[in-house]
Structure 1
Amino acid sequence: MRRLRSLLLGLLLGPGLALGALAQVQLKVLGDFAFPPYSSLRGTEPVGIDVDILHELGRRTGVQFHIELVPFKRVVESVRAGSVDGGMALLRSAEREGFALFTGVMHNSTYSLFVTRDSKMAFDGLASLHGKRIGKVRGFFISPEFDAEVAAERIQLHETAGAEQGLHMLMLGRVDAISGQTVVTRYLARQLGYADAVRPLPTPLVPDRPTFLVLSRASKLPDKEALGERLRLALEAMHRDGSIERIEARHLQ
């Protein structure tokens, strides 16, 4: 019976990733060091929702994930260069498709503009941001349209190493608003004592979009396509059976 189960699992994994081969796969994956509650450092230990998702994904697939948390721009640049095997958790874009193989969804993200509580600023499209100073985490992708407005110097972009720095800049009046993942920015505002001092504008800057575990197309990892499909199927199963929802609940309670 044990041999039969191994054979069936080998068939599910595909010809390039039979059970023995998959168990030997080790992936170095980078994530954002300043993105709580999804990923952050407790001392030197990576913790957070996305970290726990990878731990569970590894348990189910046999893949050994070696997670390192760094500034987000380095995540993107390392995946592009192939100096790591993968990255988490990236929004999809045509430009990133060129250097990253997108596997399964880790979590969904809504990005909002956060302002101080007494701000009179309104947002009803990118034109309403003309002349405004907007903070954004370095390396984060909003949209091609936003990038075009910045390139045309109609929006003054101020990049930060992390969301926490952006909140400090907002409170100091150095920017008019910051772009932030809604769950992360609310979480950090509570941690920093800013919960009553900042608020998101009603209209999202970026509507709800999935973020992915990606593999670097430039890495020397063999059988990337087959491995990516296996990771995608396992992540989908984790969403279906409620595992990811339970992980999120533990961190957000």
Structure 2
Amino acid sequence: MKRCITLCVLVLSLCCFGTVRAEPLVLVAPEYPPQIVADPAAPFGVRGAAVEIVAEAMRRTGLPFEIRPLPWARGMHLVKDGSVDGIINVYWKPDRAEFLDFCSEELFHDRVSFFATDRTLRWDGDIRLLAGKSVGVVLGYSYGPIVDDALRRGLFSRVVEYYSVQELMNGLISGKVQLIPSDYDVAFTEAEKIGMSQMLNPLGLPVENVSSFLAFSRLRKLTAVRDRVDCSLREMHKDGTIASIIKRYFRKIDAGS
């Protein structure tokens, strides 16, 4: 009888928590340097802060997984229709929550700032003072509630959409737009790649800090997996693992900029 009860508990545990899984979880990673960087020499063909954090969290769950670098639009399409299991480094939005099951524990938070090339441009943090400026954004990206709301309300005189962060940076440097919103580290990483970081003028401190998450396709019904990953991420925040990874990748913001 005791043996039977033990067996039942084990079976229930496997059903509830998905310990045994035949196929690896497939997580897509849209390139977003330095958080996600395509690198054929790296494990999974991709590296970066978000990749390291998610890979360690998945290892702690004991579940098989793989990470695939994909363009942003393609990755979102595949996770939305359930062709892959999850997506790394995504902001929470109400419309996204309809098809994405977000972890409750953040990977880290992005420091979203406005950037210009005009060194005479000053800004005190009131987004209304940027009215009438032309702005560039990446198609399909979110920049957090404050910037997203300003874009939705038509605050800016002109909004130019680009297909990648690299194109966005080129648009700013070439003068096609006056401003771009971007995570602080991402902006400088992209500008450094084209030797133009000295041209970037971050307008004061970040507009806001926006949490970035790992999220799973709702069509894949992976709530139990999400909960296990959350436990791993919570543990990693507590033991300093995530802070250590962030320190290696993210630069200190100059408050005097």
- CA–CA separation in structure 1 for the residues paired with 2:149 and 2:34: 31
Are 1:73 and 1:140, in contact at CA under 8 Å, matched by a contact in 2?
A: no
Q: In the TM superposition, what is the alpha-carbon distance from 1:182 to its structure 2 partner?
A: 1.0
Name the residue aligned to 1:128.
Answer: 129
- CA–CA separation in structure 2 for the residues paired with 1:128 and 1:14: 56
- CA–CA separation in structure 2 for the residues paired with 1:117 and 1:150: 21
Are 1:57 and 1:235, in contact at CA under 8 Å, matched by a contact in 2?
A: yes
Q: In structure 2, do the counterparts of structure 1 residues 162 and 113 end up closer, same or farther at CA, with 3 Å as the change threshold?
A: same
Q: In the TM superposition, what is the alpha-carbon distance from 1:18 to its structure 2 partner?
A: 5.3
Deviations 1:37-87, CA, capped at 9 Å, x for gaps: 110112472111111122212221112222122222333332222221111
Q: TM-score when scaled to structure 1?
A: 0.82
The answer on 1:106 being equivalent to 2:103 is: no
Q: In the TM superposition, what is the alpha-carbon distance from 1:107 to its structure 2 partner?
A: 1.4
Q: In structure 2, do the counterparts of structure 1 residues 162 and 121 end up closer, same or farther at CA, with 3 Å as the change threshold?
A: farther
Name the residue aligned to 1:42.
Answer: 39
Q: In structure 2, do the counterparts of structure 1 residues 180 and 242 end up closer, same or farther at CA, with 3 Å as the change threshold?
A: same
Name the residue aligned to 1:200.
Answer: 202
- CA–CA separation in structure 1 for the residues paired with 2:166 and 2:133: 20
Name the residue aligned to 2:61.
Answer: 61
- CA–CA separation in structure 2 for the residues paired with 1:37 and 1:183: 7
Identity %: 26
**Unaligned ranges ≥5, structure 1:** 1-6
**1:17-166, aligned counterparts within 5 Å?**
17=17, 19=19, 21=20, 24=22, 26-33=24-31, 35-43=32-40, 45-103=45-103, 104-120=105-121, 122=123, 124-143=125-144, 146-147=147-148, 149-151=150-152, 153-155=154-156, 156-166=158-168
Are 1:109 and 1:210, in contact at CA under 8 Å, matched by a contact in 2?
A: yes
- CA–CA separation in structure 2 for the residues paired with 1:83 and 1:159: 27
Q: Which amino acid aligns with 1:40?
A: V
Q: TM-score when scaled to structure 2?
A: 0.81
- CA–CA separation in structure 2 for the residues paired with 1:57 and 1:43: 22
- CA–CA separation in structure 1 for the residues paired with 2:213 and 2:99: 14
Name the one with the larger strand percent: 1
Aligned residues: 237
Q: In structure 2, do the counterparts of structure 1 residues 215 and 182 end up closer, same or farther at CA, with 3 Å as the change threshold?
A: same
Name the residue aligned to 1:176.
Answer: 178
Moved over 6 A (4+): none
SS in 1 for 2:160: strand
